[in-house]
Amino acid sequence: MPAVLEFHDIIKEYRGFFRRRTVRALDHFTLQVEQGEIFGFLGPNGAGKTTAIHLAMGFVRPTRGSGRMLGQRFGNADARRKVGFLAENVALYHRPAETLVRFYGALNGLTGETLTRRTREALKTVGLSHESGRNVAKFSRGMLQRIGLAQAIVHDPDLLILDEPTSALDPLARYAVREMLLDWRNRGKTIFLSSHLLSEVELICDRIAVLNRGRLVRTGRPAELLESREEVEVVARGISVTSFPSAEVEPENRIRILVRANEQRSTIERIWSLGGEIVSVSLRKRSLEDLFLELTSGASPRDFTKIPTAPSSPEAI
Ligand SMILES: Nc1ncnc2c1ncn2[C@@H]1O[C@H](COP(=O)(O)OP(=O)(O)O)[C@@H](O)[C@H]1O
Ligand SMILES: [Mg+2]
């Protein structure tokens, strides 16, 4: 099956004022999003997330490289009609909520009863049925974001592209959006969402990509990315610090060894075989937040000073 969204070796440069300076927003950016997945697109401000989304939607053109959305070249009108899009900064006409969502439904080819029914369903999904007659000019940012979401889903698109969809939502609304996206995915739809809210992404995404300064620094399933990062701290007594290359001396004749989670067992066996004793084994569990900071700040992966440890007994191994 072809990818739903495909960026191929894209460079996007913006020209600065008076063409003096160019900004490279995307640098050899390649990514594939498959059908039926919730894909989280992560990165700090200025990483290039919105640029990548605008390229896919055909709002801007790549400087180099190419891409496809739903099998068509970026900007193709037929493909666009099967896509629901929520922009980062929602800008909506000042109309009553229902009129507005109807308008977007009609723009995407819905008519008659279907248009009425889908409009009502979309407003219900985002929890704004009771506000459907109110002019959106009076709406809060969170409500506007929900109207934005309603216009993105009204035509039952195959692919939903959401740029920072929950940034203005309160926790309850966030929860509702999360449930909606999972429901959407269960119906075989694809969701591509950019976010800097890592905890959200960790909860619902099947795969994530981390972007930093226009470059893709990591892709994978959240659990995989985290597992490969887990390390174990083993504190032992009764063996020489020279027994392990990474060992450090601790008070009371103890040594501290930091190993990858999959080397834990062999490390403990080695300590025992050398006549040593295990004092403690603790997991250095990393959150997606830690991983994100590490990938986007250039911090040393060996710098564990700020990461809390979760102690466990040697018996628990
Ligand atoms: N229209 C534009 N003109 C010039 N520079 C831009 C434009 N849009 C974005 N940029 C620059 O491109 C980089 C990526 O921006 P953007 O795609 O908005 O990142 P993100 O959405 O991850 O915050 C930033 O350095 C930004 O300043
Ligand atoms: Mg952005």
Q: Two tokens at 292?
A: 């994100």
Q: Cβ < 6 Å from ligand 1: which residues?
A: 14, 23, 25, 43, 45-51
Residue nearest to atom 18 of ligand 1 (CA): 50
Residues 234 and 172 in one domain: no
Please tell me the distance between residue 73's alpha carbon and the centre of ligand 2 in angstroms. 22
Taking only the tens place, the pLDDT of each residue in 218-252 is 898 987 777 666 788 899 999 998 988 889 999 88
**From atom 24 of ligand 1, which residue's Cα is the shortest distance away?**
46
Q: What is the 3-state secondary structure (H, E, C) of 188-245?
A: CCEEEEEECCHHHHHHHCCEEEEEECCEEEEEECHHHHHHCCCEEEEEEECCCHHHCC
Same domain, 198 and 181: yes
Q: What is the CATH number of the domain that holds 99?
A: 3.40.50.300
Angle, helices 171-186 vs 141-153, to 10°: value is: 10
What does the alpha-carbon distance between residue 313 and residue 25 come to, in Å, rounded to a whole number? Answer: 48
* Minimum-distance ligand 1 atom for the alpha carbon of 45: 23
Q: How far is the CA of 287 from the centre of ligand 2 (A)?
A: 23
What residue owns the CA closest to ligand 1's atom 25? 46
Considering every ligand atom, which ligand is closest to the CA of 164?
A: 2
Domain identity same for 191 and 80: yes
Residue showing tokens 């739809």: 189
Domain total for the chain?
Answer: 2
Over the Cα atoms of the chain, what is R_g? Answer: 25
User: pLDDT tens, 155-172?
Assistant: 999 999 999 888 778 877
The residue type at 137: A
Q: Are residues 117 and 170 in the same domain?
A: yes
User: 181 with 271, same domain?
Assistant: no
Given the CA of residue 51, which atom of ligand 1 is nearest to it?
17
CA 209 to centroid of chain Cα atoms: 6
The two structure tokens encoding residue 207: 């795969």
Q: Which protein residue has the closest C-alpha to ligand 1 atom 5? A: 14
Mean pLDDT by 10 residues, the chain (317 residues): 92 82 94 96 90 96 97 93 90 91 93 96 93 92 90 95 85 83 92 82 87 90 74 90 89 90 87 90 76 67 37 39
**Domain span at 64:** 5-225
